Amino acid sequence: MYIVGSYSLAVALTLVTMLCWGSWANTQKLSAKTWRYELFYWDYVLGILLFSVLLGFTLGSYGELGRSFVDDLSQVSSQNFWSAFAGGVIFNASNILLAAAISISGMAVAFPLGVGLALVLGVAVNYFSTPKGDPVILFLGVFLVVVAIILNGVASGKMAQKNKASASKKGVWIALSAGLLMSLFYRFVASAMDLENFEYPTAGMVAPYAAFFIFSLGVFASNFIFNTLLMKKPFVGAPVSYKDYFSGHLSTHTVGILGGIIWGLGTALSFIAAGKAGAAISYGLGQGATMVAALWGVFIWKEFKGGGSKVNLMLFLMFVFFITGLVFIIVSGGN
């Protein structure tokens, strides 16, 4: 299987993770005019699962280092299997809430609040579980991200005064709930992997490709519970049915699957990079997706249009603090 050989390459992969995690929601935005997000989400999780299989039989089976994808799966212990599977279940619950927040409040609000909170809590959870990197520099970077989150929250509050305040508040609370759950999923997957040695992993533990596949199974299986409930009792709008899903056009389904593939690519690269960068740094850098999503929301979808000079200043400072915080997180891994 393919294994990352240096910290600098691991950082580069996590930056791709950041781009993927911050961009997949554009596919939801593209389909939102004609397609409810509960229906979109079925194709999204299908895209993640299909990509995990493709990656396992390509990069996961390429080369002579480590166990092949199939061999890795065949020897995983039940404890590590269910740990990675539980990570998928937890992620799916959080991501469905995030998707709901996006549909209510937009990308520029939902991502910085939800994913930003997940970054702060997730870095702490992963670092104290498997310490790697300079903690002072790492958590200084996290602190700067917190400042950016606060700035975004204030800016979204000012926008709420000009729009529908009740819908905005609802979206904010859903985004924060998503962030709390999202901070936990990575730890469950990381604990199933031998992060110290992907080349010769401990028996019963798995390499990133098998871990990603098992994680994807957790996402897909739990969707029959979580998303079915949301289809019957949605946060916004009337209930939808499976009949509505199967009546969708091929092009509409393809957009959702593409969204899952984009997110799946980012996640797989994060797991692959964790061996050299460590779980806390790999997760933290990937969650810089917050900034990427906010950029999409501000400049492409115009979600803060008409906010005024004060809102624009807060958004500018938010990006400055996010970028500075991410730089600190990167530097912490080189110490």
Residue 42 Cα to chain centre, angstroms: 17
* Statement: the pTM of the whole predicted model exceeds 0.85: yes
Q: Are 304 and 38 in contact (CB under 8 A)?
A: no
What is the predicted pLDDT for the residue at 160? Answer: 65
DSSP single-letter state for residue 233: S
pLDDT value of residue 300: 76
Are the C-beta atoms of 42 and 256 separated by less than 8 Å?
Answer: yes
Residue 119 Cα to chain centre, angstroms: 10
Q: With residue 256 as reference, give the H or E element that holds it.
A: helix 250-277
User: Burial level of 299, CB count in 10 A (0-12/13-18/19+)?
Assistant: exposed
Low-confidence residues of the chain: pLDDT under 70 = 106-108, 111, 157, 160-168, 334-335
Per-residue model confidence (pLDDT) at position 222: 98
What is the C-alpha separation between 151 and 319, in angstroms, rounded? 10
Per the CB < 8 A criterion, the answer to whether 99 and 263 are in contact is no
Per-residue model confidence (pLDDT) at position 89: 98
- The gap between the terminal CA atoms of the chain, to the nearest Å, is 28
What is d(CA 11, CA 32) in angstroms, rounded to the nearest whole number? 33
